[in-house]
């Protein structure tokens, strides 16, 4: 059994997937398997995959597209190691990443999911930055505090390439729910963390590529993620302590909903009035469009109300988490 499995979902992965594979081959840690699942690519990805000869690489060619999270569920079931690292085909591992991720997980046998950082992420957590408190969270988040962490900071794991996990434990919790095709990682990691907690490895170990053809852009061209975010917020509202709900509604309005306004404005200016209107309707928990619009300058300029909600909820997370340690 290898020390660690690298799980690589891919769909139309050229021209980036060769760099992703090479970043695995170049690791100091060599006791690994790389499991690649092609989700019905129509570019030259499958030709490239046919050239891979390393016996540690296993390639699966899906005959029908399983969706992003269906493909990830397939990969979780294929992993032979007890620890797995997800690596998207347009990202790459930084030197030494596999050994450090494997050691981090081995030191924490309780850990079902951990997240590392992408190159440049530490800068966003520096003093006086908007996301400073996110970077000051404890390394171990216990289950009792995990709902509040995901409610406060959103998908704390971030890009899929930052995630490592124990596949068996993720599968036991049902894997990724394909009913959330644009936010399945947020919902899935949140559910796993509620059972096992989550570990935060604050080391920059992956390079995350930004490009116009990446799935997060292509899959949200018509605001598809907005309805799923509404569903997630309404679910979170049933999981967090009722005493925190009013403060969380304020934070969700400022930090989750208001940031979509520039996108809606661009859509309106482009004549896509239906999309823009829909983005202002069907908001969760009775939050009004007026509240969302009023919150935008608070978010944009990180005004005191924005910072105050974060500080108060951060203190609540530390209190709840401290009671479990």
What residue spans define the domains of the chain? 4-216, 222-324
Sign of CA dihedral 126, 130, 131, 137: positive
Pairwise CA distance, residues 161 & 94, whole Å: 11
- Kindly tell me if the per-residue pLDDT of 214 is higher than 70: no
Share of the chain above pLDDT 90, in %: 90
| Residue 211: pLDDT band with limits 50, 70, 90 | low
Q: Quick one: which of 321, 250, 315 has its CA closest to 285?
A: 250
> Distances in Å between the alpha carbon of 289 and those of 206, 250, 274, 293?
38, 13, 15, 6
Q: How many CA atoms lie within 13 A of 113 on its CB side?
A: 34
Share of the chain above pLDDT 70, in %: 97
- Kindly tell me if the per-residue pLDDT of 287 is higher than 60: yes
Pairwise CA distance, residues 60 & 264, whole Å: 39
Pairwise CA distance, residues 92 & 139, whole Å: 24
In this predicted model, what pLDDT tens digit does every residue of 36-88 receive, in sequence order?
999 999 999 999 999 999 999 999 999 999 999 999 999 999 999 999 999 99
Per-residue model confidence (pLDDT) at position 108:
98
Decide which of 219 and 128 is more confident: 128
- Kindly tell me if the per-residue pLDDT of 247 is higher than 60: yes
Q: Which CATH class is domain 4-216?
A: alpha beta
> Distances in Å between the alpha carbon of 244 and those of 98, 230, 251, 287, 315?
38, 18, 11, 16, 12
């Amino acid at each position: 059994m290898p020390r660690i499995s690298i799980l690589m979902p891919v769909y139309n992965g050229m021209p980036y997937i060769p760099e992703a594979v090479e970043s695995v081959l170049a690791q100091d840690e060599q006791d690994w398997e790389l499991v690649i699942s092609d989700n019905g690519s129509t570019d030259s990805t499958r030709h490239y995959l046919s050239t891979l000869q390393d016996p540690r690489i296993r390639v699966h060619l899906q005959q029908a597209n399983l969706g992003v999270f269906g493909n990830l569920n397939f990969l979780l079931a294929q992993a032979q190691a007890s620890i797995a690292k997800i690596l998207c085909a347009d990202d790459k591992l930084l030197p030494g990443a596999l050994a450090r991720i494997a050691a981090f997980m081995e030191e924490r046998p309780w850990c079902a999911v951990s997240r590392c950082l992408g190159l440049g992420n530490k800068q966003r957590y520096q003093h006086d930055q908007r996301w400073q408190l996110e970077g000051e969270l404890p390394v171990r988040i216990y289950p009792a505090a995990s709902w509040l962490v995901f409610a406060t900071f959103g998908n704390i794991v971030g890009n899929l390439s930052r995630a490592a996990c124990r596949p068996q434990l993720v599968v036991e919790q049902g894997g990724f729910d394909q009913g959330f095709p644009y936010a399945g990682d947020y919902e899935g990691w949140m559910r796993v963390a509620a059972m096992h907690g989550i570990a935060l490895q604050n080391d920059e170990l992956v390079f995350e590529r930004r490009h116009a053809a990446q799935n997060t852009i292509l899959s949200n061209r018509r605001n598809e993620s907005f309805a799923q975010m509404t569903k997630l917020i309404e679910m979170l509202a049933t999981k967090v302590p009722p005493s925190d709900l009013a403060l969380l509604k304020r934070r969700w309005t400022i930090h989750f909903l208001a940031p979509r306004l520039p996108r809606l404005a661009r859509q309106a200016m482009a004549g896509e009035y239906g999309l823009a209107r829909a983005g202002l309707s069907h908001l969760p928990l009775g939050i009004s469009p007026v509240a969302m619009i009023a919150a935008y300058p608070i978010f944009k300029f990180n005004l005191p109300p924005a910072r105050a909600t974060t500080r108060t909820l951060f203190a609540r997370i530390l209190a709840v988490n401290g009671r479990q340690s």
